[in-house]
Amino acid sequence: MKKLLITLLSVGAMIAGVAQAELENPGGIGGVESLRGASELESTRPADDFKKFPREQVLESDFVYQPPLIPHSTRSYEVSLNANKCLSCHSWKNAKEMGATKISVTHYMNREDAVLADVSPRRYFCLQCHVPQANAKPLIENEYQRVESLR
């Protein structure tokens, strides 16, 4: 009985809190502040334009052991348990013919450094580490400096 009374009191407090929020914000339209600015919850702003991907640009590393950046769009690329679109160009078998960069030999090794006949399962999902590099302005200002040895 005591638990039921406590539960009823807490539900009542929740309802009172919702009622108070409704008084302070009639219609329930609140605002959300993010790095892209403020927006009303029930309104939709136009989507940003697609970013441009520099195909001819050589993308240099900014820090040691950085996974290479992808100089093209990966939109509509399937990378799943059943297929990996990246391998159609970047596998050792296809890279020369496609004029693409070969996958690193480290991607064919397991945790014990044994060389495998195919890409290691832990390296199969390319887009976990490699990302497309677009000409996009940063969302926030920063003072990041490249590693001196990579200049």
Cite the annotated binding site for heme c by residue number. Answer: 72, 86, 89-90, 107, 126, 129-130
Residue ranges for the binding site? 72, 86, 89-90, 107, 126, 129-130
Q: Which of 43, 123, 114 is nearest to 79 (CA)?
A: 123
